[in-house]
Structure 1
Amino acid sequence: MNASARQKPAAVAGPEAEPVAEPTAGSADQPAAAARPVGAVRTTLYARLAAELKQQILEGVFVAGQKLPSVRALSRSKQLSISTVQEAYRQLEDEQWVVVRSQSGCYVAPRLPEIARPEPVPGGGAVTRYLASSGPASALAYREDLIPFGAAIPDASFFPCERLATGIANLLRRKPALVGNYNFAPGSLELRQQVARRVVEWGASVDPRRVVITNGAVEAIQLCLRAVTKPGDTVAVEAPAYYGFLQTLQMLGLRALPVVGANRDGMDVDALARAAEGSKIAAVLLSTTVSNPSGATMPLARKRQLVELANRCRIPVIEDATFADLHFAGDCHAAQGFDESGLVMLCASLTKTIAPGMRVGWVDGGRFSEQIAFLKRVSSVGQPQVLELALAEYLASGGMARRLRRTRRAMQAQVCRMAENVARVFPEGTSFALPSGGFLLWVELPGEVDTLALQERAVSLGVGVAPGILFSPHGDYGHCIRMNCGVPDSPRAREGLLRLGELAGQMAGPR
């Protein structure tokens, strides 16, 4: 936007002349009962456009220093007047989201402004501050242009990418018709059989006929919840809980009931039992082995206790075992192995151990398997058969156990290195406990550090962070962050961690 663009053409009405159209009470477009309340604020078009551009900047559509579309180009694409676009850019400039360079245009500011905290959503029950914050905050954690300390994504070097790519190419040469076939749930029998054989090491009892192949573990968990709950039900989750669980519960209209852990041993089953006495719990959703984000693992005795409680109270349990194969000591026993009633649904994914890009997960739904398979068919039909068969061939070829041992050793080494660096560069008062497996580190900063603000300010440093409030439906853990230790060691990563530690130190203040 050049300097002259800040003057409104006399022939064009000002932006305030273009409020968002609102039907009048009783119009054909909107019934009288839905009319705008007296005194409601009319949102102008330029304010809506400014808000849309802010969101795109937060999501990384436009990054620091990048030029935004010209006034005329945005006017044409959005079908808005030039003066409306000018006013939107003027608002962004006033709020320090953009800078204007004379005769050049409008650019994203090198450092984003502080973002005002959203007010809690009234009447949200178990979801208050979390509802308003989780979307933008989780998007920032995964922005591709940032150093991914906030994303639960290990480096591609951990995975057999070349071998899988070769396997897919060979499979398509032998069976080119695979790309022309539909593949319906529950999925290819070959992969379901390999899954059942693989989890024998978990002490689980999985019948291939009950296994449903899904789009990662997230869809598997969604299907389980849809099979055993209805909107308004309460689902017990561990605390802290993976924010993907919480977002799924929110999407399905369910209430999250956090149940704290005891020491580093995962969910406290006695606390869960007390909660079940006080309110009706429709399901329990948790990771019993290598929880995300804490890295905790329940002892075998507690897993057995969980299943006994579920059977006694008739509460379905959704057990996420996505990180189970990454337990450093190889102790990946599933609670489902103690279940004889079919109430425990075992979910997992191959995205953390074999192939993130293939997005293949699975679920043994126990007594709910038939309903889960039906829900999968009506929701998304099935998964690509070529990927299922390629993974089945890889699992059948052997060597998985040996490769997992190497992966666990490499991940443990990176977790230890990250922990040492965090202890060195973060402010005094920072604490953490080493996880039982995986590649995530749950870090507690001094209490005065607001990690949501830390995340927002870290964006301007090119660093991604996952703030603690993402992992609680009540906005707890505001001084915590989840760190991804799967980031390759590089000068850029080391510099990013150093700058993040310095920023946390500034926010903590003098000690």
Structure 2
Amino acid sequence: MTQTEYRYQQLENWLLQGITEQRWRLGERLPSIRALCEQQGLSKATVQHALQRLEAQGLIEARPKAGYFVALLPHAAKTPRSLARIEAPRPVTVSELFLDIMRRSAAFDLLPDLHAGDSPPGIVALNRAIGRALRRQKGDDHQYYDAPAGDMALREQLSLHAARRGWQVLPEQLCITSGCQHALFLALMACCRKGDVVAVESPGFYGVLQLLEQLELQVVEVPTSSETGLDIDALDAVLKRWDIKACVVSPAFATPGGALMPLSARQRLLALAEQFDLAIIEDDIYADTAFSQVPDPLKALDTSDRVILCSSFSKSLSRDLRLGWVAGGRWHDRILHLKLVTQLASSRYLQQGLADFMRDGSLAAHLRRQRGELRTRRDRLIASLHAWPGEIRVSTPQGGLAVWLELPESVDTLSAYPVALSQGLVITPGPLFSVSGQFRNCLRISFAHPWDTRRSEALGRLPELLLPGL
């Protein structure tokens, strides 16, 4: 061992000890390379080598023009296990608990009655753009419906937005919808008929389960990993056992775990779709929340028009902006017809305002600000969760709005729901993300809102509700 090797290992161990002892907490910035050189009396190359070794272990991450930050605590590296069971297809019955949570507008907030103060700059700019579009309405424009596919200016901006992610789509291949949920609804109606079987992620998005129930479709749940998403081997086994018409998947930061599907899994998924004549419905709504590079959509790899991409800006911009879009592939004409039946037309001035907001760079600026804020909120949440008693497992998503928390098997989050509610807290129990009652010891916790004093206090009260006696 050379003297140089010994010194970089010394620095690596010193930094690792500091991270373990939380001298630098999750999400905090390490000393700069220059500062470490001066403090430790080391060369720049030696310091960089030590940092690169820690980065390779996933313990720190480099952020352009900002330095190195703690990305993972060594003692808290356990991620939630893939606990889903494969069961025969069944009809869907959505829990009354889901309806209760939605009535409280609490899907992403422990304290739904706590409203923030001033709007962020991006929302202010969006409102101004929509206001200008409304004022531009002239004559009897208000007497006419929008074109079925939606405003061309908006579709052109969405086409440019997609191109920046590596997906070349023509404006004519897009259809504007009333949000992503509406896009998913149209996609399912276009490629499925009553009684058909649809494969979904488990745990997966409860909004999809609600749509399947309304359309009287059957569901088969496919296990997922909170790191890599849909288990492709499990999907392969499911496809060999049952006649499945469609698969709903979120390759980028799927809720609740925030997984990012690797390229190899995406390629296998498309190969299975071709082999089994399967429609793939891609829920792409979280992609723009990526903390670093926004991943390409699965649709970008689709050479057979088997992928129907559904998305909106409701998770990355505003939930009040009820505009989404769908790229229907071989089902495009059918989707346009179904939109006429279910919605007729979208708001013209909202579309024009959003197009202007995108054209002048305001959306890009908003997303840059938001990504940094979301990463900081995620880091603070995970650091708080790892301070809880007992053995817990927490996902570490690189995008999205929530983490997936696996608690000891003795915990029943469904039973804890009314107890938490009596104290003014609204939790999102794990069984909501399945039709088979699985994940009773799991919980989704969102970092969509700032951790102000009241939300931090609310988070701090959860261990005594969920982990009594530990």
Quote the RMSD (CA, aligned, Å): 2.3
Shift of the 382–329 alpha-carbon distance from structure 1 to 2, 3 Å rule, reads same
Q: Do the aligned residues in 1 keep the contact of 2:111 with 2:424 (CA within 8 Å)?
A: no
Deviations 1:360-382 (A, max 9, x none): 10000001000001000011101
Give the match's secondary structure for 1:357.
coil
Q: Do the aligned residues in 1 keep the contact of 2:226 with 2:258 (CA within 8 Å)?
A: no
Q: Do the aligned residues in 2 keep the contact of 1:408 with 1:438 (CA within 8 Å)?
A: no
Structure 1 match to 2:90:
126
Superposition deviation, residue 147 in structure 1: 8.9
Superposition deviation, residue 399 in structure 1: 4.4
Q: Do the aligned residues in 2 keep the contact of 1:289 with 1:332 (CA within 8 Å)?
A: yes
Q: Do the aligned residues in 1 keep the contact of 2:91 with 2:216 (CA within 8 Å)?
A: no
C-alpha distance in structure 2 between counterparts of 1:345 and 1:363, whole Å: 7
C-alpha distance in structure 2 between counterparts of 1:235 and 1:281, whole Å: 6
| Match 1:140 to one of 79, 89, 101 | 101
Shift of the 411–348 alpha-carbon distance from structure 1 to 2, 3 Å rule, reads same
| Match 2:432 to one of 439, 462, 470 | 470
Deviations 1:304-354 (A, max 9, x none): 221122122211100010001112221411111111111111111111122
Alignment of 1:282-431 (within 5 A): 282-424=245-387, 426-431=388-393
| Match 1:490 to one of 437, 452, 458 | 452
Deviations 1:273-331 (A, max 9, x none): 22111111100101011101110010112112211221222111000100011122214
Structure 2 match to 1:161:
123
Deviations 1:85-133 (A, max 9, x none): xxxxxxxxxxxxxxxxxxxxxxxxxxxxxxxxxxxxxxx95357xx26x
C-alpha distance in structure 2 between counterparts of 1:495 and 1:262, whole Å: 30
Identity value in percent: 32
Matched, 1:216 2:179: yes
What letter corresponds to residue 408 of structure 2 in structure 1?
P
Structure 1 match to 2:33:
none
Superposition deviation, residue 263 in structure 1: 6.2
Q: Do the aligned residues in 1 keep the contact of 2:125 with 2:362 (CA within 8 Å)?
A: no
Q: Do the aligned residues in 2 keep the contact of 1:138 with 1:470 (CA within 8 Å)?
A: no
Matched, 1:234 2:197: yes
| Match 1:443 to one of 395, 405, 428 | 405
- Between the two proteins, the alignment pairs up a number of residues equal to 380
Shift of the 269–354 alpha-carbon distance from structure 1 to 2, 3 Å rule, reads same
Give the match's secondary structure for 2:281.
strand
Q: Do the aligned residues in 2 keep the contact of 1:172 with 1:178 (CA within 8 Å)?
A: no
What letter corresponds to residue 139 of structure 1 in structure 2?
D
Shift of the 170–349 alpha-carbon distance from structure 1 to 2, 3 Å rule, reads same
Give the match's secondary structure for 1:290.
strand
C-alpha distance in structure 1 between counterparts of 2:445 and 2:201, whole Å: 19
C-alpha distance in structure 2 between counterparts of 1:504 and 1:168, whole Å: 44
Deviations 1:477-498 (A, max 9, x none): 1111111112222222122112
Superposition deviation, residue 257 in structure 1: 1.1
Matched, 1:197 2:170: no
Question: Which residues of structure 1 form unaligned runs of 5+?
Answer: 1-123
Superposition deviation, residue 441 in structure 1: 1.0
Deviations 1:9-47 (A, max 9, x none): xxxxxxxxxxxxxxxxxxxxxxxxxxxxxxxxxxxxxxx
Superposition deviation, residue 139 in structure 1: 2.4
TM-score (norm 1): 0.70
What letter corresponds to residue 165 of structure 2 in structure 1?
W
Superposition deviation, residue 446 in structure 1: 1.5
Matched, 1:249 2:197: no
C-alpha distance in structure 1 between counterparts of 2:208 and 2:175, whole Å: 19
TM-score (norm 2): 0.76
Q: Do the aligned residues in 1 keep the contact of 2:395 with 2:404 (CA within 8 Å)?
A: yes
Structure 2 match to 1:171:
133
Shift of the 359–234 alpha-carbon distance from structure 1 to 2, 3 Å rule, reads same
Give the match's secondary structure for 2:404.
strand
Superposition deviation, residue 471 in structure 1: 0.3
Superposition deviation, residue 150 in structure 1: 8.4
Superposition deviation, residue 192 in structure 1: 1.0
Q: Do the aligned residues in 1 keep the contact of 2:202 with 2:434 (CA within 8 Å)?
A: yes
Q: Do the aligned residues in 1 keep the contact of 2:250 with 2:283 (CA within 8 Å)?
A: yes
C-alpha distance in structure 2 between counterparts of 1:362 and 1:234, whole Å: 24
Shift of the 380–203 alpha-carbon distance from structure 1 to 2, 3 Å rule, reads same
Superposition deviation, residue 146 in structure 1: 10
C-alpha distance in structure 2 between counterparts of 1:262 and 1:423, whole Å: 20
What letter corresponds to residue 279 of structure 1 in structure 2?
W
What letter corresponds to residue 273 of structure 1 in structure 2?
D
Deviations 1:35-69 (A, max 9, x none): xxxxxxxxxxxxxxxxxxxxxxxxxxxxxxxxxxx
Q: Do the aligned residues in 2 keep the contact of 1:237 with 1:256 (CA within 8 Å)?
A: yes
C-alpha distance in structure 1 between counterparts of 2:165 and 2:263, whole Å: 11
Structure 2 match to 1:258:
221
Give the match's secondary structure for 2:320.
helix
Q: Report which of the two structures shows the higher radius of gyration computed on alpha carbons.
A: 1
Superposition deviation, residue 359 in structure 1: 0.9
Alignment of 1:69-88 (within 5 A): none
Shift of the 138–414 alpha-carbon distance from structure 1 to 2, 3 Å rule, reads farther
Shift of the 255–147 alpha-carbon distance from structure 1 to 2, 3 Å rule, reads closer
Q: Do the aligned residues in 1 keep the contact of 2:402 with 2:445 (CA within 8 Å)?
A: yes
